Every structure is written in structure tokens, then in C-alpha cells.
């Protein structure tokens, strides 16, 4: 496995594979890899001949008061794990190799109105940062297929929409969330939790399951159902930011809908956690 830092080195390797007619899968990450990322890598292997993983903590998707500075960085350990997964190439560029004409870039991509809702309402500019870097990484790697975790459901929908709107020649594939035995979705940010908070944290998954149970029982008073669980999260020591029932493409659901995703964000101590659950009724 090769680890490269320059777009020119990346391009040289990609050209060789393309010349041989090989199919390329991309798994974009911000590093600090956990079992959830490794599951994406394994899925990528099943979809292509070559798997490229990018490791880039993208400054454009962090707000001024967010955790860009303290976001955990662990490239040597990431590289070791990716090598063990049989990854073909790791691309870990410095900021100036991604934003070639200076930071912040003059050109950005915003998928409206979805980028301003849910996560976007609490993290202004976040999805513009994500869409822009994903477009740059797609242009650099030119993957046939790219794999994203369903834990970031809204991000997945936004990337899919961007690719469709801009006719980008890549398939975007989601992969289910990996969870700890107690239900907590794996996330690089879980390591910010104190031991006591880590004990409380599965409460966020329990709230999603309670909403899911209500939906399965036929409730269609979506706002009231979510309000009950927001209160339960507050009582359990969380500061919930949103808990909503949407359709899988994140439209507002209407009575009679049978296919939903329930999405939540809540702060525990100083750690912001997000999660979601797909609920399909027969
Ligand atoms: O999900 C992430 O880790 C990031 O948002 C992504 C897709 C790698 C873009 O920086």
C-alpha cells in the first residue's frame, strides 16, 4: 500500500489503474479511523478493483467555534489499519494540495435547501464545506464509486444530490452504521466523552428507538412523538438540538408515509453526537 500526499502522485497512480481498465472505489475520511470506517473499506473492496482512502481533516467544514484544532489526528495508526484492510492507496494531502488557490476557496458548492436544515441549522456552512471538498476529492481521484457511512445520513443525501445535479460520473453508495454493543453509533468524536458520559451516551440511540416504536405502532403525530423523546433526552442530561422524523430523502413526512428516517443531534457535556435510524413499515 502506498501513502501519497500530493495530487500529482495520486494522479499518476490513478492513471496507471485506469489504463488497465480497473475500477476504482473511494472512501473519503477525516482519519482517526474506527471499525465503522473499516466496514466502509471492506464494502468498497466488494465494489471495485482498487480502493483509495483519503484522510483529510477539511477546515472548510468546521465553524469558527468548532473542534477543527482538537479534532483527533492519527495518520500513522490510520495507515497501519488501512494497510491491514488491503487498501491500495491512501491520499493524505496537506490543505494547500486540496485548496490549490488558497484557503478559503473562491468556488464552493451548496446543495439547497437541504444544506440549511437539521445539521445545517446548527452548523452553518458545514455542508458547503462537505460538498466542496467531496467534489474536489472526486475530481482528484475520479472514482467509479464512493462509499459513505449512513451515520451521516444528511451528508449522504447531500452528496447524492450534488452528484446527480452536477452529473458527476461516480456512484454514491451508503453503508449502514456500526454500533457498540450498547447501541452507541461509532464516531471519532466518541473519544471526547468522559467515562460517565460514555455510559449515558446510548440514551441517544434509545430515543431513536422509542420514536421508531411509535412509528411502527402507527403514530403519525410526528412532532409530538419527537417532542416526548426530546424531553426524555433532556431529563437524561443531554442538550438535544433536533429530533425529527423525515422521509429517507429528508422531505417532511405526511400521514400515510411508511418509510422514514429519524434523525437526532444532542450535546453531552462538550461532545456533540448525531445519529439516525431508518424505519420501514411493511
Ligand atoms: O464524513 C466525513 O468524514 C467527512 O465529512 C468527509 C465526507 C470525509 C468530507 O470531509
- The fold adopted by the segment(s) 2-175 is Rossmann fold (3.40.50)
* Rounded distance from Cα 71 to ligand 1 centre (Å): 13
Residue bearing the CA closest to ligand 1, atom 9 = 130
- Average pLDDT over all residues of the chain: 97
Q: Which of 65-69, 162-166, 254-258 has the highest mean pLDDT?
A: 162-166
DSSP 26-83: EEEE-S---HHHHHHHHHHHTT-SEEEEEE---GGGS-TTSSTTTS---HHHHHHHHH
| Phi-psi group of 164: left, alpha or beta (phi > 0 → left; psi -120 to 50 → alpha; rest → beta) | alpha
Ranges of each domain in the chain: 2-175, 188-277
Task: Please tell me the distance from the alpha carbon of residue 280 to that of residue 282, in angstroms, as a whole number.
Answer: 7
- Tell me which residues have their CB closer than 6 angstroms to ligand 1: 28-30, 58, 61, 130, 133-134, 152, 155
Q: Residue 159 CA: which ligand 1 atom is closest?
A: 7
- Counting Cα atoms < 13 Å in the Cβ hemisphere of 77 gives 7
Mean pLDDT over residues 70-84, rounded?
97
pLDDT tens digits for 241-268?
999 999 999 999 998 899 999 999 999 9
Q: Which of 26, 27, 28 to mutate to test the pocket of ligand 1 (most atoms within 8 A of CB)?
A: 28
Q: Residue 56 CA: which ligand 1 atom is closest?
A: 10
| Per-residue confidence (pLDDT) for residue 281, from 0 to 100 | 83
Name the CA radius of gyration of the chain, rounded.
19
* 45 has catalytic annotation: no
| Per-residue confidence (pLDDT) for residue 118, from 0 to 100 | 98
* Rounded distance from Cα 142 to ligand 1 centre (Å): 17
Residue with cell 403525530: 221
Give the percent of the chain with pLDDT over 70.
100
| Per-residue confidence (pLDDT) for residue 223, from 0 to 100 | 97
Is the pLDDT assigned to residue 179 strictly greater than 80?
yes
0.75 exceeded by pTM: yes
Taken as a whole, the chain contains a residue count of 282
Q: According to the CATH classification, is domain 188-277 in 3.30.1300.10?
A: yes
Amino acid at each position: 500500500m502506498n501513502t501519497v500526499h500530493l495530487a500529482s502522485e495520486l494522479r499518476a497512480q490513478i492513471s496507471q489503474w485506469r489504463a488497465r481498465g480497473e475500477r476504482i472505489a473511494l472512501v473519503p475520511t477525516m482519519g482517526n479511523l474506527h471499525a465503522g470506517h473499516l466496514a466502509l473499506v471492506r464494502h468498497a473492496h466488494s465494489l471495485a478493483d482498487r480502493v483509495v482512502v483519503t484522510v483529510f481533516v477539511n477546515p472548510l467544514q468546521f465553524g469558527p467555534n468548532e473542534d477543527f484544532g482538537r479534532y483527533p489526528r492519527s495518520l500513522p495508526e490510520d495507515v497501519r489499519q488501512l494497510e491491514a484492510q488491503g487498501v491500495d492507496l491512501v491520499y493524505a494531502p496537506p490543505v494547500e494540495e486540496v485548496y490549490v488557490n488558497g484557503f478559503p476557496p473562491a468556488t464552493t458548492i451548496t446543495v439547497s435547501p437541504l444544506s440549511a436544515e437539521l445539521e445545517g441549522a446548527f452548523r452553518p456552512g458545514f455542508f458547503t464545506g462537505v460538498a466542496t471538498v467531496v467534489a474536489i476529492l472526486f475530481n482528484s481521484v475520479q472514482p467509479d464509486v464512493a462509499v459513505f457511512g449512513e451515520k451521516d445520513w444528511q451528508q449522504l443525501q447531500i452528496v447524492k444530490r450534488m452528484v446527480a445535479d452536477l452529473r458527476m460520473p461516480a456512484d454514491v453508495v451508503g453503508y449502514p452504521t456500526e454500533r457498540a454493543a450498547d447501541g452507541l453509533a461509532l464516531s471519532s468524536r466518541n473519544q471526547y466523552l468522559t467515562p460517565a458520559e460514555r455510559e449515558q451516551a446510548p440514551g441517544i440511540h434509545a430515543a431513536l428507538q422509542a420514536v421508531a416504536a411509535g412509528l411502527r405502532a402507527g403514530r403519525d403525530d410526528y412532532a409530538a412523538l419527537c417532542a416526548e423523546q426530546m424531553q426524555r433526552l433532556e431529563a437524561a442530561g443531554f442538550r438535544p438540538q433536533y429530533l425529527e422524523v423525515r422521509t429517507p430523502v429528508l422531505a417532511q413526512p405526511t400521514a400515510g408515509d411508511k418509510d422514514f428516517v429519524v434523525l437526532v443531534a444532542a450535546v453531552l457535556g462538550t461532545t456533540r453526537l448525531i445519529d439516525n435510524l431508518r424505519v420501514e413499515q411493511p
